[in-house]
Amino acid sequence: MIDLHCHILPGLDDGPEDLETSLEMARLAAADGIRVIVASPHALNGVYQNSRETILQKVKEFRDALKAAGIPIILLPGADIHFDSDLEGKLERHEVLAVNDRTYLLLELPRQFLPPHLEDALFKLKVRGYVPILTHPERNVRLQTDLDVLGDLVSLGAVIQITAMSLTGGFGKRARHCARHWLEQGWVHLMATDAHSPKRRPPVLSGAVREVAKIIGLETAIKMVITWPKMVLFGRPLPEEILLNPPPSNPTKKHFLSRFFA
pLDDT value of residue 49:
81
What is the rounded average pLDDT of the residues 138-159? Answer: 94
Percent of the chain with pLDDT over 70: 92
What CA–CA distances, in Å, run from 247 to 41, 186, 242? Answer: 33, 7, 6
* Residue 52 phi, psi (nearest 5): -55, -45
pLDDT value of residue 241:
86
pLDDT value of residue 254:
44
pLDDT at residue 247 greater than cutoff 70: no
What is the rounded average pLDDT of the residues 130-138? Answer: 96
Higher pLDDT, 187 or 45: 187
List of domains in the chain = 2-261 (3.20.20.140)
What is the rounded average pLDDT of the residues 219-237? Answer: 97
What is the rounded average pLDDT of the residues 69-83? Answer: 96
To the nearest whole number, what is the mean pLDDT of the chain?
91
What is the rounded average pLDDT of the residues 184-207? Answer: 97
Give the integer Cα–Cα distance in Å for 243 and 237: 10
- Which DSSP letter does residue 226 get? I
pTM for the whole structure: 0.92
pLDDT at residue 45 greater than cutoff 90: no
pLDDT value of residue 258:
43
Higher pLDDT, 255 or 67: 67
- For the segment 91-126, what is each residue's pLDDT rounded down to a tens digit? 888 888 999 999 999 999 999 999 988 988 898 899
- Which DSSP letter does residue 223 get? I
pLDDT at residue 253 greater than cutoff 60: no
Interior angle at CA 174, CA 120 and CA 47, nearest 5: 55
Taking a C-beta distance cutoff of 8 angstroms, is the pair 104, 64 a contact? no
Enumerate the β-bridge partners of residue 38.
76
What CA–CA distances, in Å, run from 139 to 37, 107, 133, 147? Answer: 22, 13, 15, 12
For residue 23, count other CB atoms closer than 10 A to its CB.
Answer: 21
Enumerate the β-bridge partners of residue 42.
80
Would you place residue 248 in the very low, low, confident or very high pLDDT band (cuts 50, 70, 90)?
very low
Q: How many CA atoms lie within 13 A of 156 on its CB side?
A: 21
pLDDT value of residue 257:
41
